[in-house]
Each structure stands twice: as structure tokens, then as C-alpha cells.
Structure 1
Amino acid sequence: MGRRDEALFILKRVRGTANERAAIFEMREIETIVELEKESEDHITYFDMLLGTGNENLHIARRVQLVVWLQILQSWTGIAGVTMYAPSGPARGGLDHADNQGPRGIAATSMVYLDTFIFGATWLTVPWLYPAEIFPLKVRVKGNTWGVVGWSLGNGHVF
């Protein structure tokens, strides 16, 4: 394991100086998990992950389906359309450049910001962070890749 001292330093900073024992304990847990992952290291391909072949006792295919569909559903909320077409929205709403600072322009701009804020606080975080939590360490990067595939499929369908 490379960079162990740096990892322990960060854990101590996160836990606080009064709780150094907790940081050391957590570091040992992380090292144990990494060693277990190395022992059970199988060569799992993207194809294996999608179809559930190989090491199916981990239910990786179910996880792949979950992250793909989370991203597709996220795309279908309409946020891509809002963020891509919002700059041209006021012109389509009857606002010209002279009236751009009027109440309608301020209201339209506020609604775009509000929609983006609510989306970012709710839907945005789940499909992008969840894959990193549900996949085993040995396929975590590939699991996140499946999430990006879902995002691409969802946005491809929207546009």
C-alpha cells in the first residue's frame, strides 16, 4: 500500500486530534478491506458486469441496472433541457433585450436558478455518488462507468 501515512494523516484531521484512536482503527479497517479485495480479485469485464456472469454472488448485474436506470431517470427530470435552453428562454418568452431587466426577466432567471438549485440538492447527488458506494472496490471504477453510460443513454433519448 502506497501513501498509508498520508491517508492516516487525513483520517486524523477528519476525526480530530482528540479522537486519534478512532482514526487508527478506521485505517486498520480500510487496510483489511483492501487486503480482502486483493485476495478475491477476479478479472471481471464490463460484459460480465452487465450480464451477471462470473462472480454473481455479488449481484453486480443488479447494481449495474440500478446505476444505469438512476442516471436515465435523472436525465428524464428535464434538467438538461433547462440548463441547455435557459439562456434562449427569455427571448422565446417575449422578452427582448430592452426588457431583459424587467420583472419578467428577473422572474424567469430566478426560476432557472431555483430549479437548478433544487435539482442539485436532490437528484443530482444520488446517481453520481451512489455507484461509488454500492460497487465492490475491485469494480468500483467500472461501476461508475456504467453510471456514465446511463447518463449518456438518458440524455441521448432526451435530445
Structure 2
Amino acid sequence: MPNRCTARSNCVVPAEEHWLLDWSPPELASLTIRGKLEWDRGIDDLQLTAGYVLVEGKGILEIGTESQPMSNLATINLTDAQASPHPTLGSRFLAGQDKAQILMHGRPLGTWTLLARDVAQGESEIELKEDPRALSWRIGDVIGIATTNRGRT
């Protein structure tokens, strides 16, 4: 993504241009994509912060593809960046209109597994039936553990 998108600006990816987001730009008032904005899959923890992100016309926002999914952390923050509201969509949104495409493909992720043994309340370690790496879980992921004894503790 070129450095011409400065803090609190209304940044536009022109039609027929292909930008690679390979750094976290400063907070933008808005980002309008008429060409293509491709998220760099090789960089972890990239962040895009704007009042709104609009993909319009034949624009494309691509974060990973089906054959090459995004495996790194990618964050879009929508803020009160003092952008002038869009006439029909408002002031905080990620949207596509006309023939625009918003393509997001993340790493395949196992969404659940079973515990390998019972866990008592207050324990700080669990043992899973499956290897967390096989589920594509990473350090820092948030999990939830539900009771299986129908409310009896």
C-alpha cells in the first residue's frame, strides 16, 4: 500500500491499480477500493484502521485466496475517524457495492475437540484428544470449555 495514504485521509485505490497491503498504515478517515487491495499473506499482524472501508465498482479486497488462505493475523478496525458519512451506508462499515468483491479466506481451523480426561474446577491445564496443531490452533487463541454433565458440578 503506497505511503500516499496519510493519517486521517480519505484514501482511494484507483480503478485498474493493484496495491499490496504490506504494512499497517496510519488510521484513515476512509478507504475506498476501486482497483484491487491485496493483503500480504506473508506478514503477521497487519492492521487496517479506518472510519469505513468501501469496495465499489469492480473493486476487490482480497485477504487470502481459497488456494492460498491467510494464515497470519489480519485485523480491520472500524473507528470514529471523522470521515464524512457515506450518503447511504453511514459512517462505520465494511461494505461492497455494484460488482465489488470482498474475498476473505483464512486458515482451515478445527472448531472443536474433546477433552482427553476430566478437568476439575480451578485446574490450569487441560489435555485434548487431538493435537491442537492439527486443529490449526495457535498460542493466544481463545477457547471455551463447556460442561458435559448437564449442570451438575
TM-score, length-scaled by structure 2? 0.22
Higher strand share: 2
Higher helix share: 1
Larger Rg: 1
Which has the higher relative contact order, 1 or 2, with Cα contacts under 8 A spaced 6 or more apart? 1
